[in-house]
Structure 1
Amino acid sequence: MLINSVTTIYFSPTGTTKKIINSIVKGMGIVNDKIVDLTLPKARRDDGIPLIDGEIVLIGVPVYEEKIPEIVYPFLANLKGNGSPVVLVSVYGNIGDGIVLNQLDFIAQKSGFKVVAAGSFIGEHSFSTEEIPIAQNRPNNDDLNKAEEFGKNIIKKIENINSLEDVSFKIPQGKLPLMAKIVPKNSARLFTKTPFADMSKCSHCNICVKLCPVSAIDKGTLEINEKQCLRCFCCVKMCPKKARKIIYKPKLLVSKVLTIKNRIIKEPKIYL
């Protein structure tokens, strides 16, 4: 089989998932690609479900609380695969990749895709700070090179088969840690404060307002709606004036737990 076009579908508030997806596409050597960026609310509207016209599809999401981010799940579940081959990608902050690939696999099969490859990659954790760096500056060059190599190997695999029926593929079952099973949904709010803006530093550029994936920031006051906030901390990491910061609660406990869990440097897992 020959592949000449790709449709990429991803959610990437801080840009790490986007970097991985772009590197995979680069490795594939495909120029003719269609991008469906689900990061902003308008892209996730019910009438925005795209027609899959790429010869292969890449779906990438970050790991939130060991699972697919809730706000993109309905959109992904409504995709129509029409037998297209699909590559599934998760990006996590070096703590745990959870069951995201299994969830994506379930959605893909139910939606009529044919899963041909999958991978979990590392990106800087949403909770990462200068004081408590968690997978800081990842994906790094090595990660991106591995993603690019992954793309090359996907194309080789597809080119060496006559039909998608020849593909035999299984993603190992992921695990949910005990904490993920017992804490309520949106538990990130339990461990971090809403990132308020320090108006002595803020230049009112409104970048945080424009980039918030759930439109939780008031354009006038720059205050964040607590109930809407995902704790993706896009508003912190993208602020050119560093007017917002991440504050853990309780600070000492969360800092200690994150430091312990981040001791082992994780590497990408590839399934081909």
Structure 2
Amino acid sequence: MKLNSATSIYFSPTGTTKKVISSILKGMCISSNTTIDMTKPSIRNDLSPAIEGDIVIIGVPVYEEKIPEMLHEFLVSLEGNGKPVVLIAVYGNFGEGIALNELNDIAKNSGFSVVAAASFIGEHSFSTREVPVQEGRPDYYDLSIAESFGRSILEKMKKVENPNNMILKIPEGKLPLMAKILPKNSARIFTKTPVADMNICNHCGVCVKLCPMNIIEKDTLKIDNNKCIRCFCCVKRCPKSARKIIYRPKFIVSKMLAEKNKIKKTPRIFI
């Protein structure tokens, strides 16, 4: 099967998932790529979008060991029509959870043929300068693996006539005890809503524009705490560093993050 084009579908508030997918496409030598950016609320509201690429790449970050909840309705609306799909989960070095398994189930139920999958590591959304958690990832090594993965996909598809006959085994993920006990959106328990310091902020509007939940009030720059998913896009992409990530309780969360950061995990490839 010859691949001339691709459709990449991703959610990437801080850009980590997007970087991984871009490197995979580079390895596949595909220049014709249609992007469906689920980070934008307007895109997620448009269900069952047209998918025209010869191959599809779906990438999501792992939130609380799973696919981000706000993506489910959009993802299940996709119509695969037998197209080959590559599944990508990006997590912050804690645990992969069951995000890849969830993606696999959704893709199959939507009529895609899953031909490859992988989990990559990105800088954790809670990472700060004082408490860095895999800062700068995906790094050069990660992206080189992603590019090599893309080349492997290309070679695999050259030998395939009908992707619907392919069977890919993705190991069953695990939910740690904490993920089973904590309520949904537990990130709000461990971090405060990031408030803009008006002595630093220049009202450029970047945070309002980039917020994946569209919940930052334009004039006051206040965030609706009940809807905030703690992606901290507004913190990490603010050109003036007018917002900060504040843990609660600070000592316990800092210690937990430092512990999880001791071992640098590596990407896992399934092809």
Counting aligned pairs with the same residue, the percent is: 61
Aligned to 1:123: 122
Cα deviation for residue 227 of structure 1 reads 0.5
Code of the residue aligned with 2:268 in structure 1: it is K
Aligned to 1:190: 189
CA distance in 2: counterparts of 1:59 and 1:96, whole angstroms: 19
Root-mean-square deviation over aligned CA pairs? 0.8
**In structure 2, the residue corresponding to 1:134 is in which secondary structure?**
coil
- Give 1:113-262 correspondences, 5 Å limit: 113-262=112-261
| Residues paired across the two proteins, number | 271
Stretches of structure 1 that go unaligned for 5 or more consecutive residues are none
**In structure 2, the residue corresponding to 1:244 is in which secondary structure?**
coil
TM-score between both structures, scaled by the size of structure 2: 0.98
8 A contact 2:84–2:112 mirrored in 1: yes
Aligned to 2:19: 19
**In structure 2, the residue corresponding to 1:143 is in which secondary structure?**
helix
Aligned to 1:32: 32
CA distance in 2: counterparts of 1:131 and 1:53, whole angstroms: 44
Cα deviation for residue 206 of structure 1 reads 0.9
Cα deviation for residue 167 of structure 1 reads 2.0
- Give 1:87-98 correspondences, 5 Å limit: 87-98=86-97
Q: Deviations over 1:151-178 (max 9, x none)?
A: 0000100101222244231100011110
Q: Deviations over 1:25-44 (max 9, x none)?
A: 11100111110001011111
Stretches of structure 2 that go unaligned for 5 or more consecutive residues are none
Q: Deviations over 1:78-106 (max 9, x none)?
A: 10000000000000011111100000000
Q: Deviations over 1:41-78 (max 9, x none)?
A: 11111x34311211100000000000000111110011
CA distance in 2: counterparts of 1:120 and 1:25, whole angstroms: 16
**In structure 2, the residue corresponding to 1:103 is in which secondary structure?**
helix
TM-score between both structures, scaled by the size of structure 1: 0.98
8 A contact 2:9–2:58 mirrored in 1: yes
CA distance in 1: counterparts of 2:249 and 2:34, whole angstroms: 43
Which contiguous aligned blocks of 4+ residues in structure 1 show a shift greater than 4 angstroms?
A: none
